[in-house]
Structure 1
Amino acid sequence: MSQTLADVLNARDVDRDSVHQAVRYYLGERLDDRTPDEMRAELAQHGGEESVTNILRQLTGSEALLDRASLMVLASSYAEPGEQDRVVAALDQAKAKLPVIEVGMIALACVYGMYLIATGGIRKSETIVVRKPNGAFEERSTVEYTEPGNIIGAILELLQRSNDPAP
């Protein structure tokens, strides 16, 4: 039986700052070191600059909210097939390095990570196989992308769900 993320965090005695830093390191690795400006521009394009500013203000103003967002991004990523090693490496890297004090950068990484969780940029994806008139088979894929205004709402919904007390 493989370890859960909670097992990994407990075994490594990961502190709050290391969890926050691990999100930055993980997304940097996964997204080929996309810059904070690039992430923010993409978020603003899909959700509006005002919405992005508001959610970043919420995260930078609440250490508990930033912690929940960081854990949500790491847990969701850890659950993806093939990502466990990358998440664990990011946690180890975060523990080994001095923390980055810029909470805004960590908040932005969390928002971007939640954007990936909430939408993957895709609302609906469907692949079907059809038989062509000549008898050959062909795969046809359709992708519907999320509505720009719904992305920030989806992120806020994820944060609200993470804020709900455990049953």
Structure 2
Amino acid sequence: MDRSRYVLLNDIDEIIMPYKHNNLTSLMDVLQQQHPNKGVFLIENHIFPKKPFNESKWGPLPRWRGVPGFNILDRIYKEEPDRTIYHPHKMIVQPRMVQQTSVHEVLKMIGQMFKVPPDVCRIIHSPISTPTQRPLEQLHVDTRLRDFTEQLLPGLNKVLREAGLLT
């Protein structure tokens, strides 16, 4: 960790997605410049539930039909978090400024925390299932992940071929 500028603390079904930058490096460069005494950046979680429709509305990916799992590019509807109740954040931390963490909080640190506004960066959380299914009218369209389709697809297709899931 001595060589890492930042460590992302998120789950496998979560993507920390910048919304005003094209990559996390440029986002963190700007955040660090604006907040030089901050060593912990809290990122708000936004759930992208299983699509509320039965068929895929997007995708040039018919060759993926036999691949197990789901296509995260189909998850374009997000739930707005209820900010009147506690929601744990995920974190981007500078390892040299953090002494002890739990899953969602820093327990001991040098420096301060900064809550990153959700219009700057948020978590795209694509759980396999959610306890409740909100009506479509209560969901918001968010296609930010699709901005990276051209960069994602070649690598994904290569991995799927190497795993024997694509021919």
Q: How does the TM-score come out when normalised to structure 2?
A: 0.25
With a CA cutoff of 8 Å and minimum separation of 6, indicate the structure with the bigger relative contact order.
2
Whichever structure has more helix as a proportion of its residues is 1
